[in-house]
Structure 1
Amino acid sequence: MNTPESFVEELAAVDLVNTFNPYSDICPIHDTVDAARARRENLKRCLEAAMNARADTIWIARDLGYRGGRRTGVPLTDEAHLTEAEHLFGGITLARATTGPALAERTATVTWQLLSSIGRPVMLWNVFPLHPHAPDDPMTNRSHRKTERSATWPFLLALLEMLQPKRLVAIGRDAGEALADLDLPVSQVRHPSYGGQSEFIAGIEAIYNLSSSARRPETATLPFAEFA
């Protein structure tokens, strides 16, 4: 797993019960016929761009969400913000992998408004890099189990080895606890879901020395689903 291509190929081979692997699975309701391939290519291009740009920070949340990374293959990124992701990563091309309207999602919306203000490459990831869902209910979000984290933890370690980041930003308490034993500086911020949006914004602004006036005004109230 020492190259973006081999990393994505091995991630696509992971098969766990009650999880959706966006890099190999196809949703029969929303996906195009080549959705898994498109998401693999999206992730590979982001990894390549982050390496080329020498991105020194990785933002890490807990799990992929069903309205965000499950659909795009890009962590913390919904379809409504694929264009912003293309620009931030230096003009790469990221493909839609689903049919119908492009969905927006709360965590991804706030995340990308802040990333656009920061204006520098940041790699995005999840402690558990697949979408965990309730049994027989694939359009739900649940917290991953410790056994699931253990099964996919080598991917986080491989990502750290490839990018050699100087700092990690843990989005939410669960992510912060999972990353606590790593030998890297970890800055923890509140997750923006369930009333944490203002604290999340303030935490990122403090890390990057941003003033609140630098943000676009639409971060105030976002009527979208909670998870990325």
Structure 2
Amino acid sequence: MTPKSFVSALAAADLPSVFNPWRDHCAIHDRRDAAARRRANLEEILAAALDARVETIWIARDLGYRGGRRTGVPLTDEVHLVHAAALMGGIALERATQGPAIAERTAAVIWQVLSRIGQPVMLWNVFPFHPHEAGDPMSNRCHTRAEREATWPLLQALVAMVQPKRIVAIGRDAHLALDGLDIPITAIRHPSYGGQREFIGGMYDLYGITDDCEAAPKLPLEPRHDVGICAMA
């Protein structure tokens, strides 16, 4: 599978109470061509990851409404699009939304660590879309087992395309959900709500960085995206 065909497969998915950023359009925030911009962003990221022969995929649970839902780049908010473009070799990434750039706390910590590590990685989610409560598209919820099973072939296709040597599962939910993959998986605490120092410390240990863990940027709190273990029923 190529980056283009993979993104096309993503864009073809249509699930209830789920926003697919590579297919769907938000009438409130999106530019007219938002879905096409997000598809182009992800294609650029995937092609750069393959060119760089990245060895690691970082995988969290679901796409958040303040981050990848808006940018088309997992674990990356609009504030850090320029960082993603630089880390992946100076690729072109564009905003797909109108108005001020929106920050996501998790993305801020993720990119604080990535900027210190200085190595390109592939960022992803177990469930690649943004699941929300029915009638509330700007909410976050845990994806269901049925949703995960329906999109599992997409995760398998990504792994087959990138061929990583290691996967880093961000959070317990992601770690449990990735149990079926036949690749070494390292579990790291999710940075949300009290976990940022453990996340940073775990990543620094994993990459052999000896600096003291720095505090993450202070951003407005957002609805928690990884609370305990989801039933995923």
1:141 aligns with 2:140: yes
How well do the aligned residues superpose, as a CA RMSD in angstroms? Answer: 1.4
- Equivalent-residue separation in structure 2 for 1:180 and 1:171 (angstroms): 13
Trace 1:62-77 onto structure 2 (pairs within 5 A).
Answer: 62-77=61-76
Alpha-carbon distance change, 38 to 62 in structure 1, aligned in 2, over 3 angstroms: same
Alpha-carbon distance change, 94 to 227 in structure 1, aligned in 2, over 3 angstroms: farther
Q: Which amino acid aligns with 2:42?
A: L
Trace 1:29-178 onto structure 2 (pairs within 5 A).
Answer: 29-178=28-177
- Equivalent-residue separation in structure 2 for 1:212 and 1:60 (angstroms): 24
Compute the TM-score of the two structures, normalised by the length of structure 1: 0.95
- Classify the secondary structure of the residue corresponding to 1:206: helix
Q: Which amino acid aligns with 1:122?
A: V
1:222 aligns with 2:219: yes
Q: Which has the higher contact order (CA 8 A, sep 6+)?
A: 1
In structure 2, list runs of 5 or more residues that go unmatched. Answer: 227-233
- Classify the secondary structure of the residue corresponding to 1:153: helix
Q: For each residue in 1:52-72, what CA deviation from the matched residue of structure 2 results, as whole angstroms up to 9, or x when unmatched?
A: 000000000000000000000
In structure 1, list runs of 5 or more residues that go unmatched. Answer: none
Post-superposition offset of 1:133? 0.1
Post-superposition offset of 1:210? 1.1
Q: For each residue in 1:12-49, what CA deviation from the matched residue of structure 2 results, as whole angstroms up to 9, or x when unmatched?
A: 01000000000010000000000000000000100000
Post-superposition offset of 1:223? 3.0
Alpha-carbon distance change, 139 to 99 in structure 1, aligned in 2, over 3 angstroms: same
Identity %: 61
Poorly superposed stretches of 4+, deviation over 2 Å = 220-228
- Classify the secondary structure of the residue corresponding to 2:169: strand
- Equivalent-residue separation in structure 1 for 2:211 and 2:132 (angstroms): 35
- Equivalent-residue separation in structure 2 for 1:84 and 1:5 (angstroms): 23
Compute the TM-score of the two structures, normalised by the length of structure 2: 0.93
Does the 8 A contact of 1:26 with 1:36 survive in 2?
A: yes
Aligned pair count?
225
Q: Which amino acid aligns with 1:157?
A: Q
Does the 8 A contact of 1:128 with 1:152 survive in 2?
A: yes
Q: For each residue in 1:47-101, what CA deviation from the matched residue of structure 2 results, as whole angstroms up to 9, or x when unmatched?
A: 0000000000000000000000000000000000000000010000100000000
- Equivalent-residue separation in structure 1 for 2:101 and 2:217 (angstroms): 21
- Classify the secondary structure of the residue corresponding to 1:111: helix
Alpha-carbon distance change, 94 to 115 in structure 1, aligned in 2, over 3 angstroms: same
- Equivalent-residue separation in structure 1 for 2:200 and 2:220 (angstroms): 17
Does the 8 A contact of 1:67 with 1:227 survive in 2?
A: no
More displaced 10-residue stretch of structure 1: 53-62 or 192-201: 192-201
- Equivalent-residue separation in structure 1 for 2:34 and 2:218 (angstroms): 31
Aligned to 2:229: none
Post-superposition offset of 1:168? 0.3
- Equivalent-residue separation in structure 2 for 1:194 and 1:110 (angstroms): 12
